[in-house]
Amino acid sequence: MAAFLVFNLRGIGETIEQSAFAWDDRNYWKKAEALRHKWLWTSKKAEEIGQIVVEGKWQLFPPQIMELFPHFSDVNISTITRGPDWWVGARRALVKEAEEKRST
């Protein structure tokens, strides 16, 4: 699940950048920069958590998760809508990705 979180944080960052770019095209650069600034942390946090997962340093994981709470405090989850098949294999994919980066 932690690796799946990494991929989702990356996805948020990419989506924010796409939205900000669209606002830039319409000359709403203040809105675009505000959006980028608000969500800038996602890429950094994805990298930090990803490193924890790849290196297996699970004792460092709880403080990282705690730092996410303020960013999602307004999100209410009433039921779990996804089964484990959504995150199965995410760690393996993250480790493989890290190995490929190291070999290049």
pLDDT digits (tens, 9 = 90+) for 47-100: 999 999 999 999 999 999 999 999 988 888 777 777 778 888 999 999 999 999
Q: Give the model's pLDDT for residue 86.
A: 81
Burial environment of residue 50 by CB neighbours within 10 A (0 to 12, 13 to 18, 19 or more):
buried
Say what the pLDDT of residue 77 is: 77
What is the per-residue pLDDT across 6-52, written as a single tens digit (0 to 9) for each?
999 999 999 998 999 999 989 999 999 999 999 999 999 999 999 99
CA distance 45 to 63: 11
pLDDT of residue 82: 73
Q: For the full predicted model, state whether its pTM sits above 0.75.
A: yes
DSSP for 57-85 reads: -GGGHHHHHHHHGGGGTT----S----GG
Q: What pLDDT does 76 receive?
A: 85
